[in-house]
Amino acid sequence: MLTQRDDGLMDWDGKNWRRLFLPEEQADFPIITSLLFDQSQTIWIGTLGQGLARTLNYNSVENWGKQDGLTNDLVWSFTRPAANSPLWIGTDAGVDRLDSRIERIVPFRSGTTYTLASDQQGNLWLPEGAEVVTRLDLKDNTEHRFRLVHLNQIVPGHSNDMWFLTRQGIFHSDNQNPEIGPRLLEDLPQPSITGIVDDDNILWATQGQKIVEFKAPNQLISKSSKCFAPFFEPDAIITRNHKEIWIGGTSGIYRLIHQGNSLLSCEEITLPKESGTNIVAMLHDKRDWIWAGTDRGLSLFANGRWYVFDTNAGLPSNDVSQGGLYQDEDGSIWVGTSHGLSHICNPKAFLEKEPIRIFVGSAKLGSLPIDGHILPYSRSPLTISFGFLNYRDDDHIRFRYKLDGFDENWEETTDGSVRYAKIDPGTYRFHLNAYNPWTQQSSSETSFIVQMAWPWWKTWTAYIFYGLILSICGYSIVRLRVRYLVRQKKILEEIISCQTAELAYRADHDRLTGLLNRAAIEDKLEKFTEEKNSNFYLSLFDVDHFKSVNDQYGHNVGDEVLVIISQHLKQYISEDYFIGRYGGEEFIIIVQKKDKDVVKNILKIRSEISQKAISLSVGTLCITLSAGIVQRKTNENWRDLILKADMALYQAKRTGRNRAVAISNEHTA
């Protein structure tokens, strides 16, 4: 049962009421309006006008401060002389006594008490000032004071032995005669800060960086040489399983393995980065756990790994006092800090933590929730918020996340949210887990799929469409190219054909007159004469007085005369009439017809040209022609035929020009 009182709360455990004081900085809280136990047994306290408060490790950790009766919040040491006897507490302002039966702290005497201890007879040993140590018989309250300057630590043995570590060296008392005080061990005159007695009643103590092993009454077993880093200063020492010595100091913890008088190894212990490295107190408890107090909280080595606890675990302060660890008869642990006393009632329950349970609060792509369906394409950011349900360690829990397909490595955050400014379309899986590096806890992993569709212009349908377009374009380009090439080929063929025809024409025709040239005429004559029984007519025309025209008017006018005569002759060209320029002013006519009108037609052609005046650039001239006509006889050579025609032409010239002579019929016109 839990209820409110003026200065805190009252807790009923079934037998007694126990007062629960609020922390000093919250002692002025107004009225408590509501109380709530959550599933982790944390008490949530609602107040009037001051918000919400909560307890940490309720029923596992108890804390006491000045408001609970402590003389001072800086607690240095503890001892319980006998079972069921009060716990004696040394603080920076005096010695207090805690009666567990009534859960009340009672001041005993004033004065800084940074170390105290009880012997086997139940006597209490404590310093008074800087030069006196007092032995207090708790049975009859008698006291014996001994001079002992600058005491650092009182170490009780397992029999009557008591050890006193001072700046002058190590002192020993067999505690058999209460009148005889501690005496200095002559072999150990150097200053000693910390020590412990193992199960064999052997004292292990530090003197600078040296470790001494001493067995009462006066037996120095060994003196280990230095094995620490140069800057290391021992402040705490424990023994473990007869072979191990753990020593903590200004830069961490060393573990020494010894056998007999030999030191086998000395190794530095790797502490978690969350732990402080300034070790001021150490304790090896009945569970084989090792506790280490630092300026950053409490570290615990159990089950092969380290755990770290601080104010979030319920400690009143992270600053553990030097030598401020004590194991009680029931196995509970007392911790002295600079801000009060802490009692870890059930260390196993203190170590056992509820599993870290995580959840994903929301996951959105822009404003669209991620619900397992494929989301449309978006350039909006992907935002995911998440959290955990473990409020006791909320300051220490960290999230690890990874988006498969986007993150190459696991990322870490304490914010409880993550934002991806832009992700590409596709399928992703988001992984999330949480872990507490202080308690070495990890949650189970949760994950979900994020699917974003490709934009329409990147879908397979679009790609097929693009392919079709490209294919059509490619086909069209090829077709256009082929068409262009075909057209170019045709044009080229036409050009070549024209050029070939022109070349052929130029090869067969006279350039000035356009009539067949001499070579073409001779080719035809050759062809005609090769044919058997091929009889044809041949006539040579010659322009009369052509030299006079050239001499009088020039060769250009002579060319005009030839061109005009050629134009007139071209009118008679047919499949039977072949007309050409045979050279100079001579023209030739070949007629394949065999009828009797051939000669008349040739004569007519000559007459029509000779009877007309022709217009030239220099005026009008009358031009006449002379002609020689022959007919080929069977098997007659064409050259002979030309010769005969030439003879006929010569005869026409000689008989007066402007006439024709046909040798075949002795006809002259």
- Give every CB contact of residue 647 below 8 A, 6+ residues apart in sequence: 628, 663
Give the DSSP per-residue string, 230-283: TT--EEEEEEETTTEEEEEETTEEEEEEEETTEEEEEEEEPPPTTS-S---EEE
- Of the candidates 308, 305, 303, 304, the one whose C-alpha atom is nearest the C-alpha of residue 293 is 308
CA 457 to chain centre: 26
CB 321, CB 338: distance < 8 Å: yes
Structure tokens at 341: 């006393």
Distance between CA 161 and CA 181 in Å, rounded? 12
CB 130, CB 150: distance < 8 Å: yes
Q: Is 56 helix (H, G, I), strand (E, B) or coil?
A: coil
- Of the candidates 280, 220, 218, the one whose C-alpha atom is nearest the C-alpha of residue 252 is 280
Per annotation, catalytic residue among 233, 585, 608, 636:
585
Distance between CA 650 and CA 652 in Å, rounded? 5
Distance between CA 562 and CA 576 in Å, rounded? 23
- Give every CB contact of residue 452 below 8 A, 6+ residues apart in sequence: 365, 374, 375, 376, 377, 378, 423, 424, 425, 426
CB 276, CB 295: distance < 8 Å: yes
Structure tokens at 516: 């067949």
Annotation marks residue 586 as catalytic:
no
Q: How far is CA 153 from CA 115, 203, 323, 365, in A?
A: 6, 13, 9, 64
CB 112, CB 74: distance < 8 Å: no
Which residue has 């002759």 as its token pair?
569
- Of the candidates 180, 181, 183, the one whose C-alpha atom is nearest the C-alpha of residue 171 is 183
Structure tokens at 229: 């880093």
The angle subtended at Cα 222 by Cα 268 and Cα 224, nearest 5°, is 30
- Give every CB contact of residue 629 below 8 A, 6+ residues apart in sequence: 537, 538, 539, 599, 602, 603, 645, 648, 660, 661, 662, 663, 664, 667
> What are the beta bridge partners of residue 299?
292, 308
CB 113, CB 127: distance < 8 Å: yes
Would you give the DSSP letter of residue 512? T
CA 569 to chain centre: 95
Distance between CA 381 and CA 238 in Å, rounded? 56
Active-site annotation, residues: 585
